[in-house]
Amino acid sequence: MTLAVESELRAVGAVFSGHTAFRNGRHGDGWIEKGFVVRRPELLERFTHAQAQQVRAVWSDVSLVVGASYCGAVVATFVARHLGTQVAFVNDDAGQMAFHRMHLPAPGQRALIVDDLIFSGNDVRAVAAFLEGRGDTVLGVSAWLSRAELPTHPLLTLGNSVFQMYPADRCPLCAQGVPVEYADIRE
């Protein structure tokens, strides 16, 4: 069942090793361009199939898969199709989370949040708070990889984070004088 997520990402050229400055101010020793998977449905199909298998083994009663616009919504749709559940998209409009107008599920769902790569976890936490605020149970989160811990909800990933991440003022690569190779990256 397991998909060797890191080697799959490397095989399609999505893994960039080197001193990285992220748009949110953090630094790291590399980053992943998820577009190499998201823009190829046959690859996305395999990644999301692995997610669905992992989810099914833990939660047999998911009633709603939720993804955030834009990429997260596409990934969520594929996972929902594998799980045989409905899907809903959420939009964050200047801090105001809401369902996309095409997606208005009844409250009280047993919800699974789906994402591709989790960076800080802030986006996922905001979606979870929105769902719980309207009376859904958030069973957990499914993603390919995560750089963050999610202490409040169970998190299923397809593998371990490939790269390290540092606060910019404590970046060991900066301390060694290594020039930034990739700047303004949003993973």
State whether residue 64 is helix, strand or coil: strand
Q: Decide whether 131 or 185 has the Cβ nearer to Zn ion.
A: 185
- Candidate list 27, 34, 82, 147; residue touching Zn ion; CB under 5 A: 27
End-to-end CA distance of the chain: 26
Q: How far is the CB of 4 from Zn ion (least distance, A)?
A: 29
Nearest to 38 by CA among 82, 71, 68: 71
Q: How far is the CB of 70 from Zn ion (least distance, A)?
A: 29
Q: How far is the CB of 22 from Zn ion (least distance, A)?
A: 10
The CB-nearest residue to Zn ion is 171
Nearest to 157 by CA among 110, 109, 124: 124
What Å distances lie between residue 83 and 48, 72, 75, 182, CA to CA? 10, 16, 12, 37
* d(C-alpha 139, C-alpha 34), whole Å: 25
Nearest to 186 by CA among 12, 40, 26, 13: 26
Region of 26-34, 55-63, 99-107, 109-117 interacting with Zn ion (CB under 5 A)? 26-34
Q: How far is the CB of 17 from Zn ion (least distance, A)?
A: 14
Site string (158-187) toward Zn ion, x via CB under 5 A: -------------x-xx-------------
Using the rule CB under 5 A, is 68 a contact of Zn ion?
no
Size of the site for Zn ion (CB under 5 A): 4
Spatial neighbors of 39 by CB under 8 A, at least 6 apart, are none
Q: How far is the CB of 172 from Zn ion (least distance, A)?
A: 8
Footprint of Zn ion (CB under 5 A): 27, 171, 173-174
